[in-house]
Amino acid sequence: MVVYGGAVTGFALSAAAIVVDDAPLWWVLVGAPLAVCCGLLVFVWLRFRLRHRSPESRPRAVEAMAARRDTVGRPLERSRIAQRATRHKKAVLAAGVPTTAVVQFLASAHRASQFRHLVYLELEVVRPDGARYLVKTGEYLDASSAGSVAPGRVLQVKVDPVDPDRVAVDWERSLRLT
C-alpha cells in the first residue's frame, strides 16, 4: 500500500506542478522521483500478477527466479573469490608451508590480461599431518600451464601458516612433476 500511495502521490504532485500556475519547485523535485520509483515498482508487481494469475503458480515462479539468480550469480562470486586470493600470493609463496593439493573444480573467472587468465580453483589441500580440507582460491594461468591443469591433478602448494585458507600454487614445482 505504501508503494501505491507513493506512486499516486508522485503522479499527483507532478500533475499539480504542471497545472498550477507558480507551483513550488519541491512539488516537481519530490513528485517526479516518487512517480518514477514507486510507479516502476507498481508496474513490476502488476506484470508479475498478470503473468502468474493463479496463487498456485506464484510460488513456482518465485522459485524459478531464485534459481536463475543463483545460476547467474555463481560465476560472479567465483570471480570475486579468485581475484581476492591472488592478492596475497607472493607473501604466501615466500613464507608458506609446502604441501600438496588436488584440484577438485576448475572454472574461468572471466578476467584476463594479454597472456594470463584468472582461474577459480577448488583445491583439496593435504596437510603435513594427513588431514584434508577444501579451499576456494584463484590463480593466474598462462597458456602453457592452462592445458595441464584439470580436476584430479595434484599440485604443489604453499599454505599460509597463520591462515590455512590462503593457498598459493607453486607453479614451478607443480609443472616440474609432469
- Please, what are the domains in the chain? 2-73 (no CATH), 84-176 (2.40.50)
Tens of pLDDT, residues 98-157: 999 999 998 877 666 666 788 888 999 998 788 899 998 888 887 666 677 888 989 999
SS3 assignment, position 102: strand
Please report, as a single letter, which amino acid is at residue 116: R
pLDDT at 102: 92
User: Are 6 and 38 within 8 A, CB to CB?
Assistant: yes
Helices marked H in the chain: 2-19, 25-51, 57-86, 89-95, 143-146, 171-176
User: How many other CB atoms sit within 10 Å of the CB of residue 78?
Assistant: 22
User: Are 169 and 155 within 8 A, CB to CB?
Assistant: yes
Cα separation of 20 and 119, whole Å? Answer: 61
pTM, whole model, 2 decimals? 0.56
User: Are 102 and 154 within 8 A, CB to CB?
Assistant: yes
pLDDT at 111: 66
Higher pLDDT pick, 32 / 84: 32
Kindly report the average pLDDT of the chain as a whole number: 83
Instruction: Name residue 155's beta-bridge partners.
Output: 101
Q: How confident is the model at residue 94 (pLDDT cuts 50, 70, 90)?
A: confident
pLDDT at 164: 86
pLDDT at 73: 63
% pLDDT > 70, the chain: 88
C-alpha cell at 101: 593439493
For residue 160, give the nearest of 81, 83, 85, 69 by alpha carbon.
85
